[in-house]
Amino acid sequence: MVLKPLKDVLVGALVGLVSMLPGASGATIAVIFGIYERLVSDLADIRHRLLKDLRFIILIFIGIVLGMMVCAFGLEFLMDHIEVPTMFFFAALIVAQIPDIMKLGDDGEPLSKWNIAAFVVGFVIMIAFLFLGDGNDVELEGITGTVLMVLVGIILAVSKLAPGVSGSTVLLALGLYAPFMHALTDMDIGYLLPILIGLVIGVLGFSKIVDHCMRNHKKSTYVMILGLTAGSVITVSVQAIMKLSGTEMIAMSIAGIVIGLLLGIGLSKVASSYAKETISEKV
């Protein structure tokens, strides 16, 4: 199908775009669109799966890079001019994805104590970032700057493989978000290359862990994803509420919530169709 490669790139772009937003998780979008398990399985088994599914991987990767670049240039304007409504918009967008994640983790059986523990762990992890989000921007210099950019790449890789975890929130907490954004918008190869190295290290290392969890503890994994996602909604909402002031800002924030919910519901319907098409493909 001619349109399928374009759809793959667009879904990858959406994953990349969302992954750049503080509090939001690109991996959650990958889950909703049905590409998450396929990507993790491919990356965890390079010899048997990845090479056979290379076209799909390349298209998704191209989309992710494009999405990250577009977001890097557009996010600065939004955060400078309408930061609070934008944050409420993203929180609502995340809320709209929760029913889909609940369906993925529902096997018809009641939750076990381990499932509940997995939810709590995921929720607490994201809430913890509320207390880590005031990190001052780190100055990048010499070898230290290069090593830190490798760390940025690893964090981004893990966040893309762990739905509900916002890599941007982690980078904000460590004071590395602004340097990362500058490296992207300035096309600084000296720092982009270490980021790429970190991405490769993170993907190859963490994908096997996630793949093992998906194969052996699927329900608990999805319940933890639900906890991470619910926690990210609280994290983004609290940060937005703390900055909320003025009648006009409140009205814009309500509009942002409504638009986010409507867009999220629309995305859910599109994702359902795309997921069936993607999952049915032979690898």
Cα 181 from chain centroid (whole Å): 16
For the chain, the domains span 3-279
Please enumerate in sequence order all residues whose Cβ is within 8 A of that of 2, keeping only pairs 6 or more positions apart, or say none. Answer: none
> What is the per-residue pLDDT for 135?
47
Q: Which two tokens stand for residue 136?
A: 């001052």
Pairwise CA distance, residues 148 & 179, whole Å = 10
Report residues of the chain scoring pLDDT below 70.
Answer: 1-2, 22-25, 75-76, 79-80, 104-105, 129-141, 163-166, 168-170, 172-175, 270-283
Pairwise CA distance, residues 79 & 170, whole Å = 18
Reported for 189-192, long-range contacts at CB under 8 A and 24+ positions apart, including other chains, are 190/146, 191/140, 191/145, 191/146, 191/149, 192/149
Pairwise CA distance, residues 97 & 139, whole Å = 36
On the CB side of 8, how many CA atoms lie within 13 Å of its CA?
22
Please enumerate in sequence order all residues whose Cβ is within 8 A of that of 239, keeping only pairs 6 or more positions apart, or say none. Answer: 22, 23, 87, 130, 133
* pLDDT tens profile 63-104: 888 888 877 777 667 766 787 887 788 788 778 777 777 776
User: For the whole model, what pTM was predicted?
Assistant: 0.65
Please enumerate in sequence order all residues whose Cβ is within 8 A of that of 221, keeping only pairs 6 or more positions apart, or say none. Answer: 105, 118, 210, 213, 214
DSSP state letter for 140: P
